[in-house]
Amino acid sequence: MLGEKPMAHSLEAARDMVKASEDSGLLYMVSQSRRYNKDLVAFKDEVAQLGPLGILNADFYLGPHFGGFRDVMPSPLVLDMAIHTFDAARMIMGLDAESVFCDEFNPSWSWYQGDACASALFTMKGGARFNYRGSWCAEGRNTSWESEWRAVCPGGSATWNGGEETVVERTSGQTGFIRECETRIRRFTGDFLSGIKGSLSDFLSALESGNQPQGECHDNFKSLAMVFASMDSSRTGTRTQVPLI
């Protein structure tokens, strides 16, 4: 079965869906379609060449005037949108989140009833950090829908603004107050199935081969858990463990 994000409206319901997949022996994949982005893949590949990732930052600032249910729902940014960025972070880092401290808030000018802004600092397995900053009531100087990213590694740093270019600065010097760096600009080349097309292709390939696709329910649960842990942290004002399946 192929479903859309989010997997479910609660972690309890998500666990039930994963169990149904286990009990039936049938594949259940969540179409986390933004994973199928050639430029995200290029960024991930470049980061991997810089050594173990220690810090990953993502900024998401947009001001969409949706109208309708998003304007009245609680936690519209974290609950409805942030899973895309959280899931991409897990993909880039190759790590799962262990805990999070999150602060949700709503500026005075916001047209949303629920908190439309959030800052969340995740501790990932092994001690790396993922820092998310976002707003859905940010007018002007908008980021892309894919966020703006910075990765910091022992061999240098890389940035991606959600467009076609990843900019890498690899440390080249061994002396000096600030070490010299070599700059590289990476663009993805080659064939690539993007978005929903990529997700559908991955699903069909998994049915034929039996291999696990991206978004398989056990894996996607880990991204959904980051969402609910963030909201729990915000409401309690404490660092919260990211739930296990």
CA distances from 39 to 13, 48, 107, 145, 162 (A): 33, 14, 32, 13, 7
The tens-digit pLDDT sequence of the chain (245 residues) is 999 888 999 999 999 999 999 999 999 999 999 999 999 999 999 999 999 999 999 999 999 999 999 999 999 999 999 999 999 999 999 999 999 999 999 999 999 999 999 999 999 999 999 999 999 999 999 999 999 999 999 999 999 999 999 999 999 978 889 889 999 999 998 889 999 999 999 999 999 999 999 999 999 999 999 999 999 999 999 999 999 98
**34-193+225-241 is a CATH 3.40.190.10 domain:** no
> Cβ of 152: how many Cβ atoms within 10 Å?
16
CA distances from 92 to 117, 123, 151, 158 (A): 23, 15, 9, 12
Any idea where the domains of the chain sit in the sequence? 34-193+225-241
